[in-house]
Amino acid sequence: MTRILAIESSCDETSAAVCQDGKILSNVVSSQIQHSKYGGVIPELASRLHQQKIVAVVSMALEKAEIDQKELDAISFTRGPGLLGALLVGTCFAKTYALGLGIPLIDVDHMQAHVLANFLQKTPPEFPFICLTVSGGHTQLVLVKDYLDMEILGQTIDDAAGEAFDKAAKIMGLPYPGGPQIDRNAKTGNIRFYDFPTPRIGKYEFSFSGIKTSLLYLLKRNLKTNPDYISQNLSDICASYQHRIITILLNKLAVAVEEYGVKDVAIAGGVSANSYLRTKFREMCESKGWRAHIPAFQFCTDNAGMIAIAGYYKHLAGKHTDLYVTPFTRSK
């Protein structure tokens, strides 16, 4: 029996989870709502809040799992990518905890963990499969050959999809985090209200800076003559903007799936919680005869459950790290 404590602190979520033989026993997430008044995450504030919360969050995860710390077999933690200060809090805590208990330490790549969140479903994907990973900081197409063998086929050359949602929401004066706000307002809007551009770039590369700029110019033009333009057309703007981003994502995904001939297709990352993406993804897979895989909502956004499952597979493979390990802030 293998029991692993996992710690996630890459951005503004302090999270701890316990897994036993690949099954999640607890997954505690403490969100830092203090950033909302600034319209985005303040790195220094995030680090301080992680320091304040991490002990309580870990204790709660162990309590909910009904596991004593002496029963743990290893500690897994997010090594990166993420905010350096935030990562340092989790890394230092994990090192100390592992050293104190005399158990192995496992470093986890945050983006690989998002992909492996798909193995927390009752019916996980079969290898090989293609995963579209979309979050606030990353957009990637990944060919997943095995639990620990993944190849990035393409990724964003500028803004990530989640970043494009959050920045658009901020431009329109919507509360932070902006992605869910756009998703909510788009439900009653017209996806053909405005034809946002599709970038002409490489087959598996993404770019969302142009669509964000297009939105900015659209608003500037119309606000000159109508100060209430945003409030009067909010749902339609959100719907057409969201539709273009999701269409770009799924079109690239479809090309990759066809080229590599896989039958299992997955999405992951914070943006995979977007209701329009989930709906259109399922519709596309159904129409093409592909098996669709989407993590449960609690495992889409940043959480330690996905760090636990990634740590579990690394532990089985004997891939541990030492106490000299340091965080990294960008995808390797």
- Can you identify the CATH homologous superfamily of domain 3-115+300-316? ATPase, nucleotide binding domain (3.30.420.40)
* Cα–Cα distance measured from residue 104 to residue 98, given in angstroms and rounded to the nearest whole number: 6
- Please name the residues in contact with 226: beta carbons below 8 A apart, sequence gap of 6 or more: 232
Closest residue by Cα to residue 29 from 45, 6, 47: 6
Give me the amino acid identity at 172: M
Q: Does domain 123-294 have CATH number 3.30.420.40?
A: yes
Residue with tokens 């000159």: 224
Across 262-301, b (16+ Cβ under 10 Å) vs e yields: bebbbbbbbbbbbebbbebbeebbeeeebebbbbeeebbb
**C-beta of residue 226 within 8 angstroms of C-beta of residue 173:** no
For 206, which DSSP code?
B
- In tens digits, what is the pLDDT along the chain, a chain of 332 residues? 999 999 999 998 999 999 999 999 999 999 877 777 767 788 888 899 999 999 999 999 999 999 999 999 999 999 999 999 999 999 999 999 999 999 999 999 999 999 999 999 999 999 999 999 998 889 999 999 999 999 999 999 999 999 999 999 999 999 988 899 999 999 999 999 999 999 989 999 999 999 999 999 999 999 999 999 999 999 999 999 999 999 999 999 999 999 999 999 999 999 999 999 999 999 999 999 999 999 999 999 999 999 999 999 999 999 999 999 999 988 76
How far from 320 is each of 68, 70, 111, 181, CA to CA, in Å?
22, 19, 18, 40
Delimit the domains of the chain by residue range: 3-115+300-316, 123-294
